[in-house]
Every structure is written in C-alpha cells, then in structure tokens.
Amino acid sequence: AVPGAEVTLDALPLREDLRGKSPYGAPQLDVPVRLNTNENPYPPPPELVADVAEAVRAEAASLHRYPDRDAVALRTELADYLTVSTRVVLSEANVWAANGSNEILQQILQAFGGPGRSALGFEPSYSMHPIISSGTRTEWVPVPRRADFTLDTAAAASLVAQRQPDIVFVTSPNNPTGGSIPLDQLRGILEAAPGIVVVDEAYAEFSSQPSAVALIAEYPAKLIVSRTMSKAFAFAGGRLGYLAAAPAIVDALQLVRLPYHLSRLTQAAARAALRHADATLATVAKLAAERDRVVEALLGLGFTPVPSDANFVLFGQFADARAGWESYLDHGVLIRDVGIEGHLRVTIGTPEENDAFLEASKEVPR
Ligand code: PMP
C-alpha cells in the first residue's frame, strides 16, 4: 500500500462546505473516437508544432529566471487578435491571461466574489461556474433557462435586478446547449446587473453572433469577456485562457493572481501558436459545416438536436441518457452525459469521427 493510504478524505480537516462534493470529472478514456470535451479534433499543423518547439527551446535557456509576471508580449498579441477578429481596438491593458479560462474565472471570483457574495448563472450551463464559485466560497444562485434551453433575457434581467448578485455569468455560446445571446439582449442583463457580468465566450469563434467585446466601452465597470485558446485555437493542452475588459479590471485581478502564474514555456508556446492563428482558425468553418451536417443527420434519424452556434451539439431524446452514453462507448465513441434528462452532448470531430458517431447513433437504445 502507498504510505498514508489508511487516511480517508472524511478524516481530514476539510472545509465543511467542501465535504461530500465531487471534483469536475469528464471521463478521460482511451477510445477510438473522443467527442466529449469540446476540443478541436484537428491536431496543430507541422509548422506550428515546429514553431512551438523552437520557441520553447529558445526559452529553455532562460529557465533559471522567472517569466514576465505581466506576460506583456503575449497580452499584446492576444489584444491584436481580438482587435482583428472583433473589430474593437484593444490594447494589452485590456487583456489578462492565465492557465486556461478556468483560471481566469477563478481569479474573477477571487477578486469580485467570496464569502458573503453571490454569483448567478443560467442553467444548464458550464458546470465549472458553480464549482469555482463554491471553491471561492461565493454563494451560487442558479436560474433555470426555458425548457428549450434558450434564455428569456427579459425575465433574466428582472431576476438579476431582484437578486442583486455580485457576479452574473452569461455563457455565449452556452455550454452544453449551444445557443448564443445577441448583444441587445446582453445589454438588458448588463443594465440590470449591480456588479460584474462575465460573458464566457469560450466558443466565440464558432458563433455567428458578434462578440460582447463590443460592449466593453459601454459597460467598463461591469463587463468581463472571457476567452480561451482551448477550442478554436486547438491549444487545449497548452492551457491558455484570457479576458478582455477595462484596464481597471485587469488591475483588480493582479491583486489575486499568483506571481509568475504563466510559465515561460506557456507564454512562449502560446505566442508561437498565435502566429499560426490563420491555420488553426481555418478549422472553424470546417467544424461549423460538420456541425450543421451532424444536426441534419440527427434530425433524419429522429433525434431532437438543440440548435448550436458552437462546436458541439446537445441532442435527445433518450429514455435513459446514461444507457445511451454507455452504448455509444460500447461502439467506441466517447460523448458526454451532462446530466440533462434525456439528452447527451457530442463534440464535433473530423468527418470520419462524426460518421462513426452517426453510425453508432443508428444503433443506440433510446
Ligand atoms: N468556459 C466554457 C463555457 C467551457 O466550456 C470551458 C471548457 N470546457 C471553459 C470555459 C474552460 O476552458 P479552458 O480552461 O480550457 O480555457
């Protein structure tokens, strides 16, 4: 037995509010077709791989020194990317970066949430929002979406006005349901919110809606737009998330970030990957077209896919979603049971992977 194996979790002096909780846990299984964590199925092109390797090699000569704590070069390049892609001119003062957008969200909650404060979100949505809230001891206020998973933004705005949460999460496109929120509807929520509104745009590149970045100038003391290189940029393994907001918000997050949180290797690799943005982002149109094909095919098979603006599709109807999920797995296809009754979520993969998923879909029990 390993040393210490006799001590159980229950025996530890754990915070009371963490007792009985489960960690975030998408199964990491080694199956032929993995369509369960909304990654980009296309590996980085060889030129990008070579450039990352060279950048990391050059950086390795300086590993005895801490990295740039403020990651200025990387933030400047991320600001340039947002400026080009959203046509809103941003500078590095508007951008902050961390190890995945999960760390960005955690820093936001550390700075603006915490004991005695609350965060509100529209469920079903990204399960890490309540988990990070709980980790920072921020009270979580769940508000249901409509039965078709769309957001009644007028009702949402009045609920926000009534509950006065310190933080509101709006995920657009929403994970796991796929729909986006138009900017005028977002304005209603921003108007009603007393504090911070985080628009989680992890899947923005796949969406037909304009980015909330366009509203930063209108709501500088409220709006934070969170982004990631994990999805469209095919950089999930590199762990790089970022945000766009007013410079004062970036100043606030510096109060809670750990010093040197972004390693030299991460900064160098992310900058190299950004130099190949055109190549990686070229997969977005392919994936969107595949998404539309998968939706059509699911409809043809008698399923009820939820309209998606992202690189995944939530679909039903299963009498027993868990049994459906297991049957896909038996067919060598790993998708996601997100805990929504009668539904499963599939990430859009390569055409071959999507075909394998659709073939399995003909045979799974519903
Ligand atoms: N936000 C949403 C809505 C997500 O779906 C994800 C990834 N599943 C994230 C944030 C976090 O991604 P990462 O930490 O890799 O940037």
Strand, helix or coil for residue 264? helix
Per-residue confidence band for 7, with pLDDT thresholds at 50, 70 and 90: very high
pLDDT digits (tens, 9 = 90+) for 177-211: 999 999 999 999 999 999 999 999 999 999 999 99
Rounded to the nearest 5°, which phi and psi values hold at 106? Answer: -65, -40
Residue 202 in contact with ligand 1 by CB distance below 6 A: yes
How far, in Å, CA of 236 to CA of 347, rounded? Answer: 14
Residue 238 in contact with ligand 1 by CB distance below 6 A: no
Per-residue confidence band for 115, with pLDDT thresholds at 50, 70 and 90: very high
Atom number, ligand 1, closest to the C-alpha of residue 203? 3
Question: How many Å lie between the centroid of ligand 1 and the Cα of residue 25?
Answer: 13
Return the structure tokens found at 46.
Answer: 């060889």
With a cut of 80, say whether residue 157 has pLDDT above it: yes
Residue 172 in contact with ligand 1 by CB distance below 6 A: no
Q: Go through 154-173 and write b for each residue having 16 or more CB atoms within 10 A of its CB, e for each that does not.
A: eebbebbeeeebbbbbbbbb
Atom number, ligand 1, closest to the C-alpha of residue 99? 14
Backbone Cα Rg of the chain: 21
308 or 30, which is more confident? 308
> Kind of pairing, strands 312-316 and 304-305?
antiparallel
Question: How many Å lie between the centroid of ligand 1 and the Cα of residue 203?
Answer: 8
- The enclosing H or E element of 73 equals helix 72-86
Amino acid, single-letter form, for residue 254: Q
- Report the residue among 177, 198, 230 best suited for mutation to probe ligand 1: largest number of ligand atoms under 8 A from its CB: 230
Per-residue pLDDT, 21: 86
Atom number, ligand 1, closest to the C-alpha of residue 38? 8
With a cut of 80, say whether residue 238 has pLDDT above it: yes
Residue 236 in contact with ligand 1 by CB distance below 6 A: yes
| 293: exposed, middle or buried (Cβ count in 10 Å: 0-12, 13-18, 19+) | middle
Q: What is the mean pLDDT of the chain?
A: 96
Q: How far, CA to CA in Å, does 43 sit from each of 105, 128, 177, 238, 349?
A: 26, 25, 25, 12, 11
3-state secondary structure labels for all residues of 164-194: CCCEEEEECCCCCCCCCCCHHHHHHHHHHCC
Any long-range contacts for 191-194 (C-beta under 8 Å, 24+ apart)?
A: 191/157, 192/157, 192/158, 192/160, 192/161, 193/160, 193/165, 193/168, 193/222, 194/160, 194/164, 194/165, 194/166
Return the structure tokens found at 266.
Answer: 């991460």
Question: How many Å lie between the centroid of ligand 1 and the Cα of residue 202?
Answer: 6
Return the structure tokens found at 284.
Answer: 């977005």
Residue 67 in contact with ligand 1 by CB distance below 6 A: no
With a cut of 80, say whether residue 25 has pLDDT above it: no
Question: How many Å lie between the centroid of ligand 1 and the Cα of residue 69?
Answer: 23
